[in-house]
Structure 1
């Protein structure tokens, strides 16, 4: 005689999908999609690569591109030579205008001060490393080669 499985063994608990992972609300947004919607990245693929490579931190920790963004979370995003630290103020999964995208986050005062300090340091370093007026002539090139081989 065969044993019959009880009816409860095949049922998943409420709020779980087939894979056993919890389902998310319709208004939940992944971090890669939020970065794209907030205009930190030009494409979602670039946003996904930034998160996967560890250049984006969510609440001071590395995360996966599928991480769900929550309000008042702290996200660190690379911006050129600097790192922006922003606080999430709104969550939206659609890319809107730049004016609306700026309303999704607020940059911390520490981040602003650090970026301004780094910009000033970069400007000063340009003045300390002057560029020559033109290309070196034949005599100057010979002197450079001779200097390098000493």
Structure 2
């Protein structure tokens, strides 16, 4: 896994090589948007991660805490990419709990579907009365 200059790798390139994002541009945008924290602080795409650093990465609904095990600037297959980091046990438990809650519908607003024509009329009448 070690390539030339692996000791000097950019954070956005490492996130791309570790397959957290499909493109380097997406990785850069996530870092600049504050979705990636290194050692508890926001960072820049040009930051040089070190082995042992802890990253907090938010992708969609998921929030992962990973520890860097190896550095690479080359994007390879998923098994090799997963060898670059280790996700903490607490992070795995949090993600599984959040996924179970989403699946059960605990985080969202559950409805019976679209309102009927009668319910839409009642909503419109209610809004009209509020505006007056």
Give me the TM-score of the superposition, normalised by structure 2. 0.82
Which residue does 1:104 correspond to in 2? 84
Which residue does 2:70 correspond to in 1? 90
After superposition, the Cα gap between the structure-2 partners of 1:127 and 1:63, relative to the gap in structure 1 and judged at 3 Å, is: closer
In structure 2, what is the Cα distance between the partners aligned to 1:76 and 1:53?
13
Which residue does 1:17 correspond to in 2? none
Highest CA radius of gyration, 1 or 2? Answer: 1
How many positions carry a matched residue from both structures? 124
Q: Which consecutive aligned stretches of 4+ in structure 1 deviate over 3 angstroms post-superposition?
A: none
Aligned-CA RMSD value: 2.0
After superposition, the Cα gap between the structure-2 partners of 1:128 and 1:140, relative to the gap in structure 1 and judged at 3 Å, is: closer
Residue 131 of structure 1 aligns to a residue in which SS? coil
In structure 2, what is the Cα distance between the partners aligned to 1:52 and 1:127?
28
Q: Which runs of 5+ in 2 are unaligned?
A: none
After superposition, the Cα gap between the structure-2 partners of 1:126 and 1:56, relative to the gap in structure 1 and judged at 3 Å, is: closer
Q: Which runs of 5+ in 1 are unaligned?
A: 1-24
In structure 2, what is the Cα distance between the partners aligned to 1:120 and 1:65?
32
- With a CA cutoff of 8 Å and minimum separation of 6, indicate the structure with the bigger relative contact order: 2
Residue 149 of structure 1 aligns to a residue in which SS? helix
Residue 105 of structure 2 aligns to a residue in which SS? helix
Q: 1:81-109 CA deviation, whole Å, 9 max, x = no partner? A: 12111011111100001111111111111
